[in-house]
Amino acid sequence: MRQSLSSSAASAATTGSSAERSLRLLAFITGAGRPLTLAEIATGLGLPKATAHRLCNQLLQMGFIARDIDERAFAVGPALRKLAFDALTHSTVRGLRHALLTDLVARLGETCNFTTLDGVEVLYLDRVEAPWPWRLQFDVGVHVPLHCTASGKLFLASMNSERRARILGQLEFARLTPNTLTTAAALRKDCERTAANGYAVDMEEFIAGLIAVAVPVRDAVGEVRAAIAMHGPVTRLSLDGMLKHLPALKVAAGRMSLLL
């Protein structure tokens, strides 16, 4: 297996860009499990020694690799260790976010989403389904519209008027249900109401039969960076019933802000 990986790395390192060769070099040193000499790196990756030397010097300066006790050999550097630690921490943070969302769903009995703004769309960062027979399948990473979702309208409402006007000018206002707001004027008025309330609602505007409420998740300086939204079908959830869950949603949003 190691031989196969080395062959693959050598092929990519020979033909790829400088950035790709650097990444392959880091992967090769990390995977070796021991310090490697310049000759071993060049041979293992199929690189001219001059190219391997240049890459190693660049990575040395950046701290991604370091000289070993034997100065002819290279080992994992402090910058690469920090990168690995940050990646693991990021994974841990995602796990904590998911656990928070799972706990919220258990208490509310309805599906909850964790979203953020991505360009002129809403991006699902996480989602936990409630254990009801009627469900919607939205995978993490999917994008949904701004103009007809609770999270989307919340993000629009949190913007200054200049930025909001610019984004409203880019939207297509597709009518997805009879309740969808399809003009900039109507959405602007909805944003004013949302900003005053501190939460946004979707009254069957995205999907017929489905209502939702979203609350902001703010960063350390108070900027809206994400949203937590809850949704459910009108067959078991009314607007008043949905708004009764606002205190729990806001508490969860406050806890989530510590995990941004």
Dihedral over Cα of 181, 186, 192, 197: its sign: negative
More confident position, 55 or 86: 55
What is the spatial distance between Cα 161 and Cα 187, in angstroms, rounded to a whole number?
Answer: 12
List pLDDT tens digits, range 128-166.
999 877 666 677 788 899 999 999 999 999 999 998 998
14 pLDDT band (50/70/90 cuts)? Answer: very low
Q: What is the CATH number of domain 87-257?
A: 3.30.450.40
pLDDT digits (tens, 9 = 90+) for 209-250: 999 999 999 999 999 999 999 999 999 899 999 999 999 999
CA pair distance 23, 30, nearest whole angstrom: 11
Rounded CA separation 30/168 (Å): 48
- Spans of all domains in the chain: 2-76, 87-257
The residue type at 171: L
Helices (H), the chain: 2-15, 18-32, 38-45, 49-62, 78-108, 150-158, 161-168, 184-197, 239-243, 246-257
DSSP state at residue 87 = H
Q: Give the angle 184-189-195 at the CA atoms, nearest 5°.
A: 120
Helix (H) or strand (E) run with residue 145 in it: strand 143-145
At 135 the three-state DSSP class reads coil
Residue 112, helix vs strand vs coil = strand
Mean pLDDT of 72-96: 83
Q: What is the pLDDT of residue 254?
A: 96
Q: At what angle do helices 161-168 and 150-158 cross, to 10 degrees?
A: 130
Domain 2-76: give its CATH code. 1.10.10.10
Q: Which residue, among 151, 131, 134, has the nearest Cα to 249 in the 3D structure?
A: 151
Quickly count: other Cβ atoms within 10 Å of residue 81's Cβ.
13
pLDDT digits (tens, 9 = 90+) for 30-66: 988 889 999 999 999 999 999 999 999 999 999 999 9
Q: How far is the CA of 44 from the CAs of 68, 69, 103, 260, in angstroms?
A: 18, 21, 49, 40
Residues 229 and 212: beta-carbon distance below 8 Å: yes
Strands 121-128 and 143-145: antiparallel
Judge whether 215 and 253 are in contact, CB under 8 Å: yes
